[in-house]
Amino acid sequence: MTSGKSRHADPVRTFRKGILPFQHGKSSGAHAKPGMPLRECLVIAGLLLTLHTVFWLLGGHRWWAMTCGYIVAGITFVLLFAPMPSAKGHRLPSPGGVENLKRLLCFPVFWPGLLLLIYVWIQSWNIAWVLTFHFGGLLLQPNDHIEWLPSGMQTLLEYKNPFRYLMIFGTCFLWVCALWVGVQTRRGFMIMINGVAILFCLYALIALYQYYMGYSKILGIWEPHWQTRDRSRPFFGTLINVNHAGALLILGGSVTMSLFFHYLSVARKRMQSGGPWLVYMAMMVLVTFTAVMTLSRAVIAMGVLLTLVFAILLMLDAGMQRRWKAVGATVGILLFCTAAVTWLTWHTLDREEFKQEWQSIFAVIQDPHKDIRTEMNIASMRMLQDHQPFGVGAGGFMYYFPAYQNLFPNTIGFRAERVTDEQGRSRWQRVRLIWDYAHNDWLQYTIELGYVGVGILAAIFLAWAGIALRWIRHLRLHHLALYAGLALLLAQATVEFHLQIGAVHLAFAAVLALAVKWQSMPNFYKY
């Protein structure tokens, strides 16, 4: 009689009986897959919870919301090294803490990411200026500091400061490291990216529901920002600026498009006419339509470009498969998606507001100096020349920029604000508007972090590019869909400040990590 050990050692008998070594002598008629490691299940839950926390708590726009996301991401990161019970049944064993530590130290993005956190941390305690209030205005007072180190500014937590950016960068750093080290199975990764796509779709549904139901509070809880309260769209989703919500949804469109191409390829291999790709095509239309409903000029342009990317990738897919008859179906799918988004948008938007938006675009094309962003960029370049190589400190742009506004009168604006003097008397006062952002993320990060800090950011991108180039032979259409969404957001960052918002910054880092991780999937475990 053959022992259980020898029976499992015979590969032919194992194949015929459908018995796998981890089944401990139990035979079955099918090859059952082992369960994911417990540690990986917990890490995936923590990663998705981090995204939900930042997305739904005002998009991380408040310091306390971003701090909550940072705490959840920190707990998820700790799970990489926490002791886990031994695997039972068909579950794969969890990699040990020492093994995960080695994998983390070998992660190319870890070291420049850690260096960036240290750099911003130095700015947070090496205080060069202290912000105080004086008769309703802001007053900067110099402070003794180490001049040969990066320096920052001391302000209240609800204002821009290095601590706030330390939370944003830290949350992204912990999230990316936990994904790269903690998710090592194909099944786990697919659960992860499908969970992210569902989150974007849910966000789009909630945003549309609030819009059509005429909500006056964000999620029925938070009042909109005083600067947007009188606008036709005081908020969208959970973000007070509709442009940021649109950029966030464009990333969601690239994720759903990526899964569309992935499951289309799977259905073709299985010779199936249907499959999940139909669901993700519908989700892609929903998310893109929601992004267009923000009526942001730049977001509409990104939506058009994303549609062109979708068309190009569909054509490439048909060409690579030599399925020339599928070109007609490809054009049909594209026309259907375009017509659906156009019809829904045209029958739901405020046409007068839409007309004004496009009139302003043509006016800027005829005379670029009519757009205040042009003046902002010129003034910011002047500011950059005076603060190098360490910059003004993370979050310091809004405090230094007023000194340069007098040189560029078009950037000066005023508002009426009620202030209280030292005797406790309240009165209305004409207050100059303070620009929080340069409306150019590339330029603002250079001003705040200096050439040294931006060099560290460039090293992070080069590390990601190095990993992607290493696995370039495994590049597929669904990877290109993710990279296209990232490229569009980076291009729009030249005229907006999306990457200053916690939810958009985290979503960008998450999609980038998912794209490169997916491309390196041949390095995963079998299951």
Asked whether the beta carbons of 255 and 511 are under 8 A apart, the reply is yes
Q: What residue type is assigned to position 54 of the chain?
A: V
pLDDT in tens, 398-407: 888 888 877 7
Asked whether the beta carbons of 56 and 219 are under 8 A apart, the reply is yes
> Rounded to an integer, what distance in angstroms lies between the CA atom of residue 383 and that of residue 402?
10
pLDDT in tens, 434-467: 778 888 899 999 999 999 999 999 999 999 999 9
385 by Cβ neighbours in 10 Å (0-12 / 13-18 / 19+) ranks as exposed
> Rounded to an integer, what distance in angstroms lies between the CA atom of residue 204 and that of residue 210?
10
- Token couple for 406: 């007098």
């054509």: which residue's tokens? 315
The predicted pLDDT at position 418 comes to: 59
The whole-chain average pLDDT of the chain stands at 82
The sign of the dihedral angle between the CA atoms of 69, 71, 74, 78 is negative
**What is the mean predicted confidence (pLDDT) over 18-30?**
42
Which pLDDT band holds residue 6 (cuts at 50, 70, 90)?
very low
pLDDT in tens, 100-123: 999 999 999 999 999 999 999 999
Other CB atoms within 10 Å distance of the CB of residue 447: 24
> Cα-Cα-Cα-Cα dihedral of 356, 359, 361, 367, to 10°?
-130
More confident residue, 472 or 525: 472
Which pLDDT band holds residue 296 (cuts at 50, 70, 90)?
confident
Asked if the model's pLDDT at residue 4 lies above 50, the reply is no
Asked whether the beta carbons of 200 and 255 are under 8 A apart, the reply is yes
Least confident of 233-237, 428-432, 493-497: 428-432
């130095």: which residue's tokens? 122
For the chain, what's the residue count? 527
The predicted pLDDT at position 327 comes to: 60
| Strands annotated E in 421-488 | 426-432
* Preceding peptide of 83 cis, ω within 30°: no
- Token couple for 447: 């001003």
Which DSSP category does 339 fall into? H
Which pLDDT band holds residue 46 (cuts at 50, 70, 90)?
very high
- Token couple for 321: 């498969």
pLDDT in tens, 48-103: 999 999 999 988 888 889 999 999 999 999 999 998 887 776 777 778 888 999 99
The predicted pLDDT at position 369 comes to: 56
Least confident of 107-111, 133-137, 257-261, 448-452: 133-137
More confident residue, 361 or 400: 400
Distances from the Cα of 381 to the Cα of 114, 404, 448, angstroms: 28, 10, 12
> Rounded to an integer, what distance in angstroms lies between the CA atom of residue 253 and that of residue 172?
21
The predicted pLDDT at position 32 comes to: 61
pLDDT in tens, 179-228: 999 998 889 999 999 999 999 999 999 999 998 888 888 888 888 776 66
Asked whether the beta carbons of 292 and 303 are under 8 A apart, the reply is yes
In this prediction, what percent of the chain has a pLDDT beyond 70?
76
More confident residue, 8 or 40: 40
> Cα-Cα-Cα-Cα dihedral of 151, 156, 157, 162, to 10°?
-10
Asked if the model's pLDDT at residue 304 lies above 90, the reply is no
Which residues lie across from 141 on neighbouring strands?
130
Asked if the model's pLDDT at residue 343 lies above 90, the reply is no
Other CB atoms within 10 Å distance of the CB of residue 241: 24
């020898």: which residue's tokens? 6
Q: Which residues of 145-159 are buried (b: 16+ CB within 10 A; e: fewer)?
A: eeeeebbbbbbeeeb
Note the helical H segments in 106-185: 110-125, 162-182
Least confident of 313-327, 371-385, 446-460: 313-327
Asked if the model's pLDDT at residue 483 lies above 90, the reply is yes
**What is the mean predicted confidence (pLDDT) over 270-288?**
87
The predicted pLDDT at position 7 comes to: 46
The predicted pLDDT at position 419 comes to: 60
The DSSP element (H or E) to which 420 belongs, if any, is strand 414-420
- DSSP per-residue string spanning 178-230: HHHHH--SHHHHHHHHHHHHHHHHHHHHHHHHHHHHT-SSBTTTBPPPTTTTT
Which pLDDT band holds residue 271 (cuts at 50, 70, 90)?
confident
Other CB atoms within 10 Å distance of the CB of residue 32: 14
> Rounded to an integer, what distance in angstroms lies between the CA atom of residue 405 and that of residue 434?
10
Mention every residue, 6+ apart, whose C-beta is less than 8 A from residue 512: 464, 486
The sign of the dihedral angle between the CA atoms of 105, 109, 110, 112 is positive
Asked whether the beta carbons of 497 and 299 are under 8 A apart, the reply is no
pTM comes to 0.86
> Rounded to an integer, what distance in angstroms lies between the CA atom of residue 210 and that of residue 490?
28
* SS3 at position 431: strand
The predicted pLDDT at position 527 comes to: 44
